[in-house]
Structure 1
């Protein structure tokens, strides 16, 4: 396969490498993802994260394994293992469905390689389209609030919600970005703050519980988030803490936008209640770990509830910004996301 590099993925010498997002921003470490076991471990540990990026990394690995001589049955098994690595993020399933079709081709190694590269190129274009469509909703001198990380670290391109913000900033529309820390894993504090700094976009980092006070003060003009899955009725699964922002936004009369590619849409999922929500390790809540080491602040035997995602009902969403354009609440009610 040709040499390829995005913000977080690299293919060189027919091997896949990933930028360890758990080590950022203190360290930029490229880790090998040469096997299914390695990539699944990276996904579980969130060294690879972001719904689009997870799907792309799995697709690229399958293609590389095929080029290295893996048989059709071996690749089919690898595909199934990768598919189960992140149950909430539907991009993984959508991408692997296309790779499964390529695997059925007579010359499957070439077909898998072509399809994986096509998915990467498409994701870059999807991000550009989302950024362009979403920026039309950003008003001059805006103060925007975002949650989790939705930039180039999570995609092959400029990102989804953060791509919108970056494009709007280039047009001189963004005054400031409020960045939720995004607990318990701090993707906002570690990753979004780093990306905004790299892009020279003015931002201020806040803890998640500070968002309400900012809205009450009138210094939040709109909220922009990404999505891990959009159900057919418009409900959205995203990083835990998104739902509370949507409730607060409605109370304060603030637009709440979801930016995502069409690969995040699951037309066969009727509503948010049908979206599987991943439960993660208690250690993520009882303490913190990173490139700096680890510390525990809760009692060792503390009982923990730690869902990685929550579901925001469609009724709380002002608009869904896809690569195909802006979808309104009226269009969702009319069934635009239905199969």
Structure 2
């Protein structure tokens, strides 16, 4: 849940994802923030898929939660069926194709498939699928709390004074079902008195840092400073920054992290300047079927996101590359924080141990 100041100055609570009593899914439209608070209501799986594809809802965990509710909406629209797997097949396929990189999407839909397989025709299938979607939502909320707790322990164990932390992209309450991953850890660390200042990269091309992370931290009263992406090296050299903290959309079996574009560069810079590098992600983001990060095809978005400045088109005919994600090699990562525990200096064995439920911390 987010806290935002209304026009009168009082704090109001905002839910980025909310199931409504009239059997609709309400999503906070992240394209309009921070200047406008606008909600989008979805009543069908295609509407949820469009919300994911258009980035009305964004962030791996939030995408997965929305997709789970999308299946619940589809089942409610059908009402009754002699073959639920066939009846929902097109909706599953549509939602699975809405975003290609975030493993949280396939994980959440996998939970919904497992739930569907266990149900019989005598059971209220739409109601059970809604319960499963709510459970996915609550599971992420609880995982966020655990990750925040582990991350704060890492900060407190290594440093006795408040830290200066650099954040990239947006991975807070807007991008999840709870307080968030990377931003959730930093917010919890601030509450524990362990944060002096947060440095926020603007995060091109859609400015998730300047539009969303800066807004979230301002609402929480966390001291922060915004910078252009290309100023990161200069700030690391001149501002005595201690940590870079990022979220991952997917983690390969060897510990490579697939994150928001620009993360790889920050990891290289962090190593050069002696900063520690933390990745925060749910254990569901660990993909043991992906041997190394470079094996995953990475999403590219439209060139219009770089060539359109408001009403102004700056297209000169030059080809445009607009990748959304990059791969940070495991040997540049100091620690991965999950809800199951902490992995320092990640490798294949440590990740496999964590996924098999062995406690690491």
Shorter-chain TM range is over 0.9
For the pair 1:54 / 2:63, whether they are aligned, the reply is yes
Q: Do the aligned partners of 1:6 and 1:157 also contact (CA within 8 Å) in 2?
A: no
For the pair 1:109 / 2:109, whether they are aligned, the reply is no
Alignment partner for residue 150 of structure 2, among 121, 133, 141? Answer: 133
When residues 10 and 294 of structure 1 are mapped into structure 2, their CA distance, relative to the original with a 3 A threshold, is farther
Structure having the higher Rg: 2
Return structure 1 stretches of 4+ with deviation > 4 angstroms: none
Deviates more, 1:105-114 or 1:150-159: 105-114
Corresponding position of 2:277: 256
Segments of structure 2 that go 5 or more residues without pairing to the other structure are 1-12, 356-361
- Could you state the TM-score of these two structures normalised by the residue count of structure 2? 0.88
SS in 2 for 1:334: helix
Q: Equivalences for 1:86-235 in 2 at 5 Å?
A: 86-104=99-117, 105-106=119-120, 107=123, 108-138=125-155, 139=159, 140-235=161-256
Segments of structure 1 that go 5 or more residues without pairing to the other structure are none
The Cα shift of 1:110 comes to 2.9
The Cα shift of 1:35 comes to 2.2
Deviates more, 1:104-113 or 1:23-32: 104-113
Q: Do the aligned partners of 2:72 and 2:129 also contact (CA within 8 Å) in 1?
A: yes
Q: Do the aligned partners of 1:286 and 1:302 also contact (CA within 8 Å) in 2?
A: no
Once residues 107 and 269 of structure 2 are traced to their aligned partners in structure 1, the CA distance between those partners, rounded to angstroms, is 32
**What is the root-mean-square deviation in Å for CA atoms of aligned residues?**
1.6
Corresponding position of 1:10: 18
Once residues 135 and 295 of structure 1 are traced to their aligned partners in structure 2, the CA distance between those partners, rounded to angstroms, is 44
When residues 333 and 40 of structure 1 are mapped into structure 2, their CA distance, relative to the original with a 3 A threshold, is closer
Corresponding position of 2:30: 21
**Which protein has greater RCO, CA pairs closer than 8 Å, 6+ apart?**
1
Corresponding position of 1:66: 75
When residues 100 and 91 of structure 1 are mapped into structure 2, their CA distance, relative to the original with a 3 A threshold, is same
Once residues 123 and 185 of structure 1 are traced to their aligned partners in structure 2, the CA distance between those partners, rounded to angstroms, is 25
For the pair 1:306 / 2:322, whether they are aligned, the reply is yes
Count, aligned residues: 329
The Cα shift of 1:134 comes to 0.4
Deviates more, 1:223-232 or 1:102-111: 102-111
